[in-house]
Structure formats: C-alpha cells, structure tokens
Amino acid sequence: MDLSQIIIKVFGGEQKCASCVNLPTSKETAEWLEAAISRKFPDQLFSIEYVDIFSPTEGENQKFVLQILEEDLFYPVVVINNEIVAEGNPRLKDIYEIMEQHGYRDVV
C-alpha cells in the first residue's frame, strides 16, 4: 500500500486560552498526540509540528494563525493535511478516524 505521510500541526500558545484553563497547554497537547498516535499506529510515519500562534509565521501556517486569531478559535487547533480537524480539546477517536481514512492501520 502506498501510504503518504500525514502532517499534523498543532497551533496554539504558551498561554492557555481563557476557556481552556483546566486543559493541557497546546505544546503538551502536541506531545500527547504524538505519543498516542505512535502507540496506535507503530512503525507508520507521520509528523507533528507545534506552531506558536504568537510567534511570527509565514506561508500556509500564517493562514491558519490569522484564522485562529480573527475567528477567536479555541486553541489548540489541530490541522491535518491543511484541514482543521479539532479545536480546543482534541478527541483522539476523531484524529484516529482521519488517519485511518488516509490509510493508517491499527496493528493491535
């Protein structure tokens, strides 16, 4: 099977958004997603990138940063292959389903 590598971007900030007080930081969410996805889909390539929405960005990342700030989206915002798939507290089940749609298989 020809499996293209999924790119997952987690957009957020060091400071939590006002309604996310009891949730992990965006950076912690990125690390948590990486660990959980690695366990679910071992030996299947993917990459996770954390993007600080308060640091200068350019290109496609800038488009999402502007959208997050202008639309007051709850962060972290999870983007898979340039599509927003989660806002605020991401659900692993939803992320797994999207990855499976792209050919990833649970080996358990």
What local confidence, expressed as pLDDT, does residue 2 receive?
Answer: 44
Please write the tens of the pLDDT for every residue from 35-86. 999 999 998 999 999 999 999 888 889 999 999 999 988 889 999 988 999 9
* Mean pLDDT estimate for the chain: 88
Q: Give the model's pLDDT for residue 18.
A: 61
d(CA 100, CA 17): 30
User: 13-16 — which CB contacts under 8 Å span 24+ positions?
Assistant: 13/52, 13/53, 13/54, 13/75, 14/52, 14/54
Spatial separation of the C-alpha atoms in residues 10 and 30, rounded to whole Å: 6
pTM of the model: 0.88
Coil, helix or strand at residue 7: strand
Give me the domains of the chain, ranges plus CATH numbers.
6-101 (3.40.30.30)
Contacts for 9 with CB less than 8 Å, ≥ 6 apart: 48, 49, 50, 51, 61, 64, 78, 79, 80
Residue 15 per-residue DSSP state? S
Residue type at 87 in one-letter notation: E
